[in-house]
Structure 1
């Protein structure tokens, strides 16, 4: 039995569900294949057989499916709701302790969805890092660049890291994020090109990546109500920008 499961409510979502199942090594449930059995009852029987769920459905349907099932945030499976258009990945159950927040970012990287994390532990952290790097940069090199850019600020204040989709598989960046428990938000190249808030466009990035810059636009797209407090800063092939969420700062 796989740790992760995908639950669909309609056949129209099958291509999305299959793609997620393949990428996550997940069990894919298609309840319409057993028409004599209520989909909700099918779900209730298998809910505790998996530790992570991606429910491709409306959040209202998910709430009704979950009625009476959750017991504790320390033991409940993680559940992320993903709409069929893959616009939003919403951690609905066991977000922080159970790993649904991390799963939402994982689903977002695979689908281009926006991770809608609402738990206070993550939401009250004000900083977003935009990172770009040349291929093959190590986690240590990226960390040195980040710490230099943060200055007196700390990694404990960072909510997420954002980069362009072409860097989604960059081993050093993934290792850096894993080392510090930071979620990686991947921004589509087309979105970066359309919203290129770049103070100093880079000819090298334009020629090699197809956009005028990576770290600044990625950070600002990931934190749309934030302000750029550290513009693009380059450290030996790694660029870092820091955006601060103004509303979080005002609330603390």
Structure 2
């Protein structure tokens, strides 16, 4: 099985969205309508095992029907993420952990500004979201120290995701920190953060250099809309960290 990504479109109307995704993620693009003599489901089945990961731009119901009879077990099935044609939700549908669909859902979401939808129990039971803002070039070690200081007695394995602004999406220290600890990085557009300036104390430095009142607090709160800010912005050695805890729905 190839390690490459397959991007499956159901309709030609998704071509522009797919071009953006392929430019950022790579992969092989499939346009099954070009072979109208063969049903799409049959075409998909013929190439299903040729990729380790799939991104399908379609309704989730279509994806489920296409998978009928193909899925075997979580250790061998290709990962599959479903993205709606409006680019609003990236759903990890199959092989979330073992196949990497959860990670792929975040990558897709970060490209198009979608919400990553992760339903695996391990992630669902992690209540914390950590927002991070940092100076350019800050080391992974400094980020780790700041995060652990902010968490206090809470454990790193309680963290569901790390959230930041798009200007920091390629920050090497931040990327390395998330990779070392198996944490997905969720990235929000500058305009999204600017429109939801939920900060306990605006930062003049951040405003001058980034153009928003703060990064770590609004990013964490946007990522966890029903959450509560349990650790306000804590700055340490060029790293700003905030922690939001998810409020559980009581039965």
CA displacement at 1:22 relative to structure 2: 2.6
2:228 is aligned to: 227
Q: Greater shift after overlay, 183-192 or 233-242?
A: 183-192
Give the gaps of 5 or more residues in structure 2: none
| Cα deviations by residue, 1:98-121 (Å, 9 ceiling, x for unpaired) | 110000001111111100111111
CA displacement at 1:73 relative to structure 2: 1.0
1:64 is aligned to: 65
Deviant stretches of 4+, over 4 Å: none
Q: Greater shift after overlay, 226-235 or 183-192?
A: 183-192
CA distance in 2, matches of 1:206, 1:159: 28
- Number of aligned positions between the proteins: 250
CA distance in 1, matches of 2:54, 2:23: 14
2:206 is aligned to: 205
CA distance in 1, matches of 2:113, 2:195: 16
Equivalent pair of 2:3/2:53 in contact (CA under 8 Å): no
| Cα deviations by residue, 1:190-230 (Å, 9 ceiling, x for unpaired) | 11111111001001111111110000000001011110110
CA displacement at 1:39 relative to structure 2: 1.1
CA displacement at 1:2 relative to structure 2: 5.5
CA displacement at 1:25 relative to structure 2: 2.1
1:13 is aligned to: 14
CA distance in 2, matches of 1:42, 1:86: 24
* Residue aligned with 2:146, SS: helix
Q: Does 1:115 align with 2:119?
A: no
Cα 1:2–1:51 shift into 2, 3 Å: closer
* Residue aligned with 1:51, SS: strand
1:174 is aligned to: 175
1:236 is aligned to: 237
Equivalent pair of 1:226/1:243 in contact (CA under 8 Å): yes
CA distance in 1, matches of 2:207, 2:172: 22
| Cα deviations by residue, 1:45-78 (Å, 9 ceiling, x for unpaired) | 0011101000000111111111111110111000
CA distance in 1, matches of 2:75, 2:246: 29
CA distance in 2, matches of 1:25, 1:96: 21
CA distance in 2, matches of 1:107, 1:43: 20
* Residue aligned with 2:201, SS: coil
1:161 is aligned to: 162
Structure 1 vs Structure 2 CA RMSD? 1.2
Equivalent pair of 1:2/1:27 in contact (CA under 8 Å): no
CA displacement at 1:19 relative to structure 2: 2.1
CA distance in 2, matches of 1:51, 1:112: 24
Give the structure-1-normalised TM-score. Answer: 0.96
CA displacement at 1:30 relative to structure 2: 0.5
Equivalent pair of 2:56/2:80 in contact (CA under 8 Å): yes
CA distance in 2, matches of 1:2, 1:231: 41
2:140 is aligned to: 139
